[in-house]
């Protein structure tokens, strides 16, 4: 694939889809180059983007040194009653000094200054109908203010992705409340005012659509370069499917203008979106921010995926690529797997690459472009550092997750039903991949059955529920798949996504199933993973619930009890379940091998029942850790192993 440099910006120029020039026939050279670059990348790379520079260092830290290629800015604050906006200068620095791409939207308050962008006080249809009225003049005044900032960027020689009147079809902003016709009229008014009156020609125009067919909101091919969805549905019949059905023949590029969770590069093969933009604070880890959407290991994985284009790819110098993160299984049971690392796609446009060094946790584990290494059970975050003949260095990362397969791994399954059209098939719940799931039809009851192929002692069952979880269900076992024995039953389980760990079970069988009695939502039942743990036993027979004595999610022993930490070994988190026979405070302390306290936590149980501590070893070294739980004068202890 040929690489070309234009004004400090790298881009790929081989792409089969027909490229279109900017819709503005007078587009500046910078706008033409930017549009050409986007055309060339479409279907080849997923361009990374982030709203608000305030989160840049967070991304750099979490991703191992990567930065988004697109930075998002906003003209909110530009109206006379607001006090000003300086984002144009920030955007100029981002493009000129960093070599990135700038994107703008506008949270436009009421032009009459009688409300914010959500206000119902501003009546767009009435304002547009009276071109001599004050409201219409205020619209023009505000657009002119934006044009003035756009001119600063045009004079600086940069092009901008421009997404005005975003999310109009949602009708929660004033520009969408009057309907599609009024919004299209405002779009065209803005386009004509900025382009034809002010001669602002450095913009790539993005129209934000939800793919609705209820009204015709589309302003027309002549004023739209890119069509972008906010918070898309990634299912097989979701946003990408709708866009292609409605706009597929127009030759427009499709992007993701806002999302919370970083787009999974795995969907790129079937949904080759041009770019994603993560909305501001949503880039954060949900552990650290109540509205966070992205665990740090997910940020690392996405930003280091070879399908994702980052800021590095837009600037001169070495480019490090460490290959694709992989989920592996220890199928032979020896606790290790050999893996070939792959940095062969790394390159440099200045000098030559003289060394490839692979490290894990700061320790060198291999050298060369494609070395073979051995990994043990756990999560392995590996960093590749390349060095060139000019002394320049660049790093990239890759994650290898090696798991022991459960008894249910890729075993035959049968289900009562499958939700149509989403690809959430039954085998997804036993594939070992926590990113794929099964979902049922929207009715009770539903069941999910696994044939373990041989009789086994079933010691533990782990069900990772999606938001569509079970409120009440049974775990049943059978040796003929006809007569079923209930070994555990659950009622009034909490709503939302959760992981149920049913531990210390007795007996076993060849078949096991989850029999859902009552849902927590109006949707069906949805399971990410259904894991069964134990060992083969040709004489295994189900043990009825009344004879089960292990600690499970429903057990109510008459004393403070501790379940088994899961997973163990772990990286970066493990869960420690417990049961309290009455309300009260539970304290957790974790110790290293020197007896030093490395973590403390507390929970207050308002009612008797099960609880769960989540312990993160993110900032700790690999090794053995002892933990103690104290409830009143009762204490329970256990050990966990952190493997990095």
Q: Is residue 560 helix, strand or coil?
A: coil
Q: Where are the alpha helices (DSSP H) in 553-607?
A: none
| Strands (E) located in 404-445 | 413-415, 438-439
Q: How many CA atoms lie within 13 A of 380 on its CB side?
A: 27
Strand partners for 327: 401
Q: What is the DSSP letter of 238?
A: S
Identify the H or E element spanning 147. helix 134-155
Active site residues: 167, 258
Identify the H or E element spanning 374. strand 372-376
Question: Which residue's structure tokens are 């997973």?
Answer: 567
Spatial separation of the C-alpha atoms in residues 292 and 284, rounded to whole Å? 4
Which pairs count as long-range contacts for 303-306, CB under 8 Å and 24+ apart, including other chains? 303/48, 303/59, 303/62, 303/63, 303/64, 303/66, 304/63, 304/64, 304/66, 304/396, 304/397, 304/398, 304/399, 305/265, 306/345
Closest CA relative to residue 120, chosen from 71, 173, 77:
173
Spatial separation of the C-alpha atoms in residues 50 and 65, rounded to whole Å? 15
Identify the H or E element spanning 339. strand 336-340
Query: Are the beta carbons of 340 and 367 closer than 8 angstroms?
Result: no
Neighbours of 81 (CB within 10 A): 11
Give exposure, 583-620, as e/b (b: 16+ Cβ within 10 Å).
eeebebbbbbeeeeebbeeebebeeebbbebebebeeb
Query: Are the beta carbons of 51 and 78 closer than 8 angstroms?
Result: no
Query: Are the beta carbons of 504 and 515 closer than 8 angstroms?
Result: no
- Structure-token pair, residue 556: 């109510």
Q: Residue 353: phi, psi to the nearest 5?
A: -80, 125
Tell the burial category of 365 from Cβ atoms under 10 Å away from its Cβ (0-12, 13-18, 19+): middle
Q: Residue 41: phi, psi to the nearest 5?
A: -85, -20
Query: Are the beta carbons of 257 and 222 closer than 8 angstroms?
Result: no
Number of H helices, E strands in the chain: 9, 36
Q: Residue 349: phi, psi to the nearest 5?
A: -100, 0
Query: Are the beta carbons of 383 and 322 closer than 8 angstroms?
Result: yes
Neighbours of 154 (CB within 10 A): 21
Query: Are the beta carbons of 341 and 370 closer than 8 angstroms?
Result: yes
Spatial separation of the C-alpha atoms in residues 518 and 440, rounded to whole Å? 13
């Amino acid at each position: 694939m040929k690489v070309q440099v234009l004004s400090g910006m790298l881009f790929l120029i081989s792409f089969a889809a027909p490229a279109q020039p900017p819709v503005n026939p007078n587009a500046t050279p910078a706008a033409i180059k930017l549009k050409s670059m986007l055309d060339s990348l479409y279907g080849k790379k997923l361009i990374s983007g982030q709203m608000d520079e305030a989160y840049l260092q967070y991304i750099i830290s979490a991703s191992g040194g990567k930065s988004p290629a697109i930075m998002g800015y906003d003209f909110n604050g530009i109206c006379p009653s607001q006090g000003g906006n300086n984002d144009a200068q920030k955007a100029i620095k981002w493009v000129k000094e960093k070599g990135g791409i700038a994107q703008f939207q506008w949270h436009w308050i009421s032009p009459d200054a009688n409300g914010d962008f959500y206000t119902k006080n501003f009546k767009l249809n009435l304002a547009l109908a009276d071109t001599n009225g004050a409201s219409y003049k205020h619209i023009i005044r505000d657009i002119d203010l934006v044009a003035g900032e756009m001119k600063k960027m045009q004079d600086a020689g940069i092009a901008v992705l421009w997404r005005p009147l975003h999310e109009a079809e949602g009708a929660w902003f004033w520009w969408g409340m009057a309907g599609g016709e009024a919004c299209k009229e405002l779009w065209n008014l803005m386009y004509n005012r900025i382009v034809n009156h002010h001669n602002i020609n450095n913009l790539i125009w993005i129209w934000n659509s939800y793919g609705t067919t209820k009204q015709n909101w589309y302003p027309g091919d002549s004023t739209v370069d890119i069509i972008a969805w906010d918070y898309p549905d990634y299912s097989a019949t979701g946003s990408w499917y709708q866009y292609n059905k409605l706009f597929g023949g127009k030759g427009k590029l499709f992007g993701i203008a806002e999302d919370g969770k970083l787009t999974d590069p795995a969907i790129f093969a079937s949904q080759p979106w041009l770019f994603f933009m993560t909305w501001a604070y949503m880039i954060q880890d949900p552990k650290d921010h109540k509205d966070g959407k992205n665990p740090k290991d997910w940020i690392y994985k996405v930003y280091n995926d070879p399908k994702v284009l980052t800021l590095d790819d837009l600037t001169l110098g070495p480019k490090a690529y460490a290959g694709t993160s992989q989920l592996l299984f220890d199928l032979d049971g020896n606790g290790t797997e050999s893996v070939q690392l792959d940095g062969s796609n790394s390159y440099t446009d200045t000098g030559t690459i003289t060394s490839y060094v692979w490290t894990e946790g700061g320790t060198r584990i291999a050298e060369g472009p494609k070395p073979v290494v051995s990994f043990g059970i756990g999560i392995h975050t590996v960093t590749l550092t390349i060095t060139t003949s000019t002394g320049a260095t660049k790093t990239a990362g890759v994650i290898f997750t090696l798991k022991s397969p459960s008894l249910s791994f890729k075993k035959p399954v049968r289900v009562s039903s499958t939700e149509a059209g989403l690809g959430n098939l039954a085998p997804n719940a036993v594939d070992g991949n926590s990113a794929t799931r099964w979902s049922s039809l929207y009715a009770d009851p539903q069941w999910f059955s696994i044939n373990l192929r041989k009789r086994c002692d079933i010691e533990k069952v782990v069900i990772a529920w999606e938001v569509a979880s079970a409120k009440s269900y049974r775990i049943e076992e059978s040796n003929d798949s006809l007569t079923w024995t209930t070994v555990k039953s659950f009622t009034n389980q909490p709503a939302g996504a959760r992981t149920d760990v049913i531990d210390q079970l007795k007996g076993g069988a060849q078949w096991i199933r989850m029999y859902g009695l009552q849902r927590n939502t109006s949707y069906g039942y949805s399971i990410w993973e259904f894991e069964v743990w134990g060992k083969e036993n040709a004489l295994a027979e189900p043990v009825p619930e009344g004879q089960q004595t292990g600690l499970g999610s429903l057990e109510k022993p008459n004393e403070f009890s501790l379940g088994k930490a899961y997973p163990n070994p772990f990286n970066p988190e493990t869960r420690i379940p417990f049961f309290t026979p009455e309300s009260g405070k539970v304290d957790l302390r974790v110790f290293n091998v020197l007896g030093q306290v490395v973590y403390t936590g507390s929970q207050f149980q308002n009612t008797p029942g099960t609880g769960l501590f989540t312990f993160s070893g993110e900032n700790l070294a690999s090794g053995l850790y002892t933990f103690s739980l104290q409830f009143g004068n009762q204490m329970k202890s256990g050990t966990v192993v952190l493997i990095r």
